[in-house]
Structure 1
Amino acid sequence: MPSRTSRSIEMRPAEAGDMAFMQQLYACTRNTEVRMGGCDLATETLLQGVQFRAQQSWFESQYPNADLAVIMDRERPVGRLFVDYGPGELRILDICLLPEYRNRGIGLGLLRSLQAQGERLRLPVRLNVALGSPALRLLQRCGFEILAVDGVYNLMEWMPPAGIDLD
């Protein structure tokens, strides 16, 4: 299921051997507010591993049929995309890129592709984004609106244009 989002960016289904990369990706994307102040590096690494596995287990239990893909730049893994195609929504569970791959249009390309899928399926595209996340501006530029705030996350939604009849 490779698909292109820009010239050298492709996606492939995640495999068991990708979990070490995904754990490293998780750790490098934790902002300083989420880091464990006062812990030594070994303890922080251990705790982030526990957090990653807990997040992964939660996604898998809540969304057992979700697609997990590794975002690749040529042969190098640079991120992940986790999406659930549910009966009433297309739910983005996680879009995550290595810091050096951000602000290159990759996230925008992925969002536009997911919106096109939502339009074809006539489903809203939804996701949770952390309060204060820099991704909020990109999501709003792409037409996502905040539906609710729970103290930690904004629940955001993009709706396909009304009146499109694909039959």
Structure 2
Amino acid sequence: MQGIQLPLGLHIRTSVASDKAFLEKLHHAVRQDLQWIDAEKDLVETIVEMQLKAQTQSYSEQFPNAMYFIIEKQQQPIGKASIDFSHDLVHLIDIAFIPEARGQGFGKAVLQALQQCAAQVAAPMLLSVEQQNQVAKQLYQSLGFATEVVQPPYERMIWYPPALRSFSQNMA
């Protein structure tokens, strides 16, 4: 992601071991659904931790070459992005922000930077979104992503850089 300028005081850097506490905090914030479990707080915390471990293991198995990034605003971590850059595809595996950073255009800025990276190597960009997440789907659609496959509860969406758009349209 070198050479890509991010607006809004944002910076993206590679995730390191010392980011573990932030990533755990972010996972807790993202998985609010797990906080609603009617059980002792310790049990709920254990379930949230297990979900994070399962997600981490799943990503590393499915995407062994993925890269993990921390999104910062003025040197403070506000989000993460997990991306698999293959030879012919940029796959956004996961992107998440702390609640205080949502709705401020940070996700859009990061996505646009990733689209610039994909355009530089003439590779389409792929992501999955929960079907019920209308806010995210609208953002992705506004950036030119189109639904490619629906596999409930997710939709796989794809974006083609300008160099590939006419090719992809001819294939449809």
How far the C-alpha of 1:7 sits from its partner, in A, is 3.5
Verify the 8 A CA contact 1:144 1:157 in the aligned structure 2. Answer: yes
Q: Structure 2 stretches of 5 or more lacking a match? A: 166-172
* 1:28-67 equivalent positions in 2, closer than 5 A: 28-32=29-33, 35-67=35-67
Deviations 1:99-127 (A, max 9, x none): 11011111111111111111111111001
AA at the equivalent of 1:54: A
Q: Structure 1 stretches of 5 or more lacking a match? A: none
Alignment RMSD (CA, Å): 1.9
How far the C-alpha of 1:65 sits from its partner, in A, is 1.7
Which structure: greater helix fraction?
2
How far the C-alpha of 1:61 sits from its partner, in A, is 1.6
Q: Would you identify which runs of 4 or more consecutive aligned residues in structure 1 move more than 3 Å?
A: 1-4
Deviations 1:131-161 (A, max 9, x none): 2112111001001011111111110100112
How many residues were matched structurally?
Answer: 163
Quote the Cα distance in structure 2 between the aligned partners of 1:29 and 1:8.
23
Specify the alignment match of 2:93 in structure 1. Answer: 93
- CA gap of 1:136–1:75, structure 2 versus 1, over 3 A, is same
TM-score (norm 2): 0.87
Specify the alignment match of 1:116 in structure 2. Answer: 116
Quote the Cα distance in structure 1 between the aligned partners of 2:32 and 2:19.
22
% identical equivalent positions: 26
* 1:1-167 equivalent positions in 2, closer than 5 A: 4-32=5-33, 35-133=35-133, 134-162=135-163
Quote the Cα distance in structure 2 between the aligned partners of 1:163 and 1:99.
35
